[in-house]
């Protein structure tokens, strides 16, 4: 064994001193009002940071009732993001983020919802789950969770309040038309598949149907690939990819899904922003035969990652798009983990289809989205799925 370097004791001493300074710095950061003014300015940084800290200190010290500093900070951050007037940027407090994105995120009440100005409108109530037992119906609007009004909040924030540990109660206020209801619902583990597939025979032509409800879940692209390959083995002559009501999710899963149909190296989308260099996403290979016709079924709630897939297949002339104009989101977000477990999600730039289209309306405004090749609106007065019928007719014509 060789001799220890004579520099080692000095390094150890410096390390110990550094740790002491770090501990003191952390303590001072939480008790900066104890410092003389010149030192306080040095520790806290710029004037805006000092202003925010002073307001927090004054509220904690002199407000007529005791307040929770953490809740104050979280509320302030939510308001800060709200001031951007950007529906795609969010601050998730540690508790909301945990409820929304942790492995327990499927613990809830068993509804599919869409965000509105007043709260969350119920789109579907899953049979056998707590919401159904409590009497919620499609069309109801959830306006409060506990004492928190949902008006003006993002859908992600509202859903984060509803979700939580299975077996715990959540109090909801919802509107059934003009009538107001208050119910206490016990959360449960919700197991709802994100993909559904089947063979549909249309005028003696076997067609494969795959519905994907979200790209939020890791593995979504693999689920679609397995469904498509199974349907082709069963004799499907074409594939319908139903992305209606799919609000998007992980871009990585969108790339995997588009790669099922596009040749390796094909451009799927590109992004760039003020601080984000241009990046091009391409198909990863192993597509199904180009001779298999494809139809993508969309509506006004087909958004984000779903629009990326739809536009890529349309631009490459790999699929016909059936339905109505899609949502029209032309921006992407970056996420940042914050001290304490919170997460900041902000719009970082624009994304473009392979042909160079941006689907948004400028900035964070909704745009025209993807224009379908075959327009088909849903008929609210009929129980039949008119859009699916048009998609089947369109695909069968291509498959003959």
pLDDT at 103 over 90: no
Our separate counts of H helices and E strands in the chain read: 11, 19
Averaged over 245-251, what is the pLDDT?
Answer: 89
| Residue for token pair 């859903």 | 159
Q: Name the 3-class secondary structure at 148.
A: strand
Which of the residues are catalytic?
A: 304, 329
Which residue bears the tokens 């241009």? 278
Spatial CA neighbour of 33 closest among 73, 62, 65? 62
Residue with tokens 């309040």: 161
Structural domains in the chain, CATH included, are 39-83 (no CATH), 94-189 (2.30.42.10), 195-399 (3.90.226.10)
Q: Does residue 41 surpass a pLDDT of 60?
A: no
pTM reported for the whole predicted model: 0.73
Cα separation, 6 vs 100, in Å, equals 53
Residues 6+ apart with CB under 8 A from 358: 330, 350, 351, 352, 367
Reported as a single tens digit per residue, the pLDDT across 169-185 is 999 999 998 899 999 99
The span from the CA of 194 to the CA of 214, in Å, is: 6
C-beta atoms surrounding 21 within 10 Å: 10
Confidence of residue 224 (pLDDT cuts 50, 70, 90): very high
Whether residue 360 contacts residue 328, with contact meaning beta carbons closer than 8 Å, is answered with yes
- Specify the DSSP class assigned to residue 215: B
Instruction: Please give the Cα distance from 319 to 259 (Å, whole number).
Output: 13
pLDDT classification of 210: cutoffs 50, 70, 90: very high
Residue found under tokens 């202003």:
51
Average pLDDT over residues 372-378: 95
DSSP conformational letter for 33:
G
> If you average pLDDT over residues 243-266, what whole number do you get?
94
Cα separation of 130 and 162, whole Å?
Answer: 12
What pLDDT sits at residue 36? 43
The pair of structure tokens assigned to 165 is 């540990």
């Amino acid at each position: 064994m060789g001799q220890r370097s004579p520099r080692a004791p000095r390094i150890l001493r410096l390390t110990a001193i550094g740790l002491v300074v770090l501990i003191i710095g952390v303590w001072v950061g939480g008790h900066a009002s104890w410092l003389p003014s010149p030192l306080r300015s040095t520790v806290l940084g710029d004037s805006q940071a000092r202003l925010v800290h002073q307001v927090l200190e004054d509220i904690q010290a002199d407000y007529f009732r005791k307040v929770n500093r953490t809740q104050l900070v979280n509320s302030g951050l939510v308001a800060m993001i709200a001031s951007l007037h950007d529906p795609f940027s969010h601050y998730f407090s540690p508790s909301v983020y945990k409820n929304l994105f942790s492995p327990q995120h499927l613990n809830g009440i068993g509804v599919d919802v869409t965000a509105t100005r007043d709260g969350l409108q119920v789109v579907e109530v899953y049979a056998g789950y707590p919401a159904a037992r409590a009497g919620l119906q499609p069309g109801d609007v959830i306006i409060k969770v506990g004492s928190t009004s949902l008006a003006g909040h993002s859908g992600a924030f509202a859903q984060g309040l509803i979700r939580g540990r299975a077996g715990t109660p959540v109090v909801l206020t919802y509107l059934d038309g003009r009538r107001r209801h208050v119910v206490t619902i016990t959360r449960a583990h919700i197991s709802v598949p994100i993909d559904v597939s089947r063979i549909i025979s249309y005028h003696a032509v076997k067609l494969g149907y795959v519905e994907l409800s979200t790209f939020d879940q890791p593995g979504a692209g693999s689920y679609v690939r397995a469904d498509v390959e199974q349907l082709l083995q069963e004799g499907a002559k074409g594939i319908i990819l139903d992305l209606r009501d799919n609000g998007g999710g992980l871009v990585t899963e969108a790339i995997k899904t588009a790669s099922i149909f596009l040749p390796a190296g094909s451009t799927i989308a590109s992004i760039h922003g003020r601080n984000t260099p241009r990046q091009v996403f391409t198909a990863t290979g192993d597509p199904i035969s180009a001779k298999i016709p494809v139809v993508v079924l969309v509506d006004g709630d087909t958004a984000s990652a779903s629009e990326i897939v739809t536009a890529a297949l349309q631009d490459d002339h790999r699929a016909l798009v059936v339905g109505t104009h899609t949502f029209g989101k032309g921006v992407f977000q970056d996420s940042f983990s914050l001290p304490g477990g919170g997460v900041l999600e902000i719009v970082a730039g624009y994304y473009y289809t392979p042909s160079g289209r941006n689907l948004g309306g400028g900035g964070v405004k909704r745009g025209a989205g993807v224009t379908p090749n075959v327009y088909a609106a849903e008929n609210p007065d009929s129980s039949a799925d008119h859009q699916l019928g048009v998609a089947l007719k369109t695909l069968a014509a291509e498959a003959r």
